[in-house]
Amino acid sequence: MVQVMVEDEPIAVYHTPEGFYATSDICTHASQSLTLGKLTDCIVACPKHGGKFDVRSGEAVAMPCVMAVETYPIDIRGADIYIEFE
């Protein structure tokens, strides 16, 4: 996983066994960078309190996180990754 900046917003891009996904890089509980945490399959754990999110849907899947992170569609074109960001 890697953090990229899109219009001054930190976005996390994940490469999982199921493909590429993008979410906000900021944990909705602890305001920490998710890319500093650990990615296991399609679940990213926040480095501060260990709350977890499913990167495919943004859904919070482990406490103390209860609010989802925003997700962004990705388009792969050759070797380039495009994030749909409005």
Q: What is the CA radius of gyration of the chain?
A: 12
Q: The CATH number of the domain where 39 resides is what?
A: 2.102.10.10
Q: How many domains does the chain have?
A: 1
Q: Is the pTM of this model over 0.85?
A: yes
Buried b (16+ CB within 10 A) or exposed e, 47-61: bbeebbbbbbebebe
Q: What is the chain's length?
A: 86
3-state helix, strand, coil in the chain (%, to 5): 5, 50, 45
CA nearest neighbour of 71 among 34, 17, 31, 30 = 34
Q: Is the pLDDT of residue 30 over 90?
A: no
Q: What pLDDT, on a 0 to 100 scale, did the predictor assign at position 47?
A: 95
Residue 29's domain comprises 2-83
